[in-house]
């Protein structure tokens, strides 16, 4: 029997949406106020959904302690209170929330082995959220 577990986490980070491959006018037209040279911040809501069989002994898909510990060490400590533009992950691409969502998915997919990763959802504002479930789209 397969079940899904979704867990939510909070973190804050800043970014400036900007591409060195575009002119100042192109950046302004593409990113608008989010291209502000001083950047801006968000209080992100991260949702990680994993799945797997329900363990007969524990009754769980995976232990929340394992998932929480992993996300804290590998994701929150990496991105919380950071200027995303300064991180290696975004040296060659704009730190959009779409790209951040795919990076977080990549981290969990690569290193979390207690359950199958279904998707990562990242809420940037009350009005904007982004979701990635693997496959096409991850730019390395």
Residues belonging to the active site: 34, 81, 124
DSSP class of 133: -
Nearest Cα to Cα of residue 117 among 54, 60, 50, 52? 50
Region for residue 137 given its phi and psi (left: phi exceeds 0; alpha: psi -120 to 50; beta: otherwise) = left
Q: Residue 99 gets which letter from DSSP?
A: H
- Given CA atoms 44, 19, 89, 106 in this order, what sign does their dihedral have? positive
**111: exposed, middle or buried (Cβ count in 10 Å: 0-12, 13-18, 19+):** exposed
């Amino acid at each position: 029997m397969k079940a899904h577990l979704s867990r939510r986490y909070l973190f804050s980070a800043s970014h400036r949406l900007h591409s060195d491959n575009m002119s100042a006018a192109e950046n302004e037209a593409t990113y608008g106020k989010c291209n502000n040279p001083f950047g801006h911040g968000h209080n992100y809501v991260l949702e990680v959904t994993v799945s797997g069989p329900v363990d007969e002994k524990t009754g769980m898909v995976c232990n929340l302690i394992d998932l929480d510990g992993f996300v804290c060490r590998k994701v929150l400590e990496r991105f919380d209170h950071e200027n995303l533009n300064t991180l290696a992950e975004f040296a060659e691409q704009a730190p959009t929330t779409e790209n951040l969502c795919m990076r977080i998915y990549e981290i969990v997919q690569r290193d979390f082995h207690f359950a199958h990763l279904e998707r990562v959802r990242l809420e940037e504002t009350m009005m904007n959220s982004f979701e990635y479930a693997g496959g096409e789209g991850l730019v390395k």
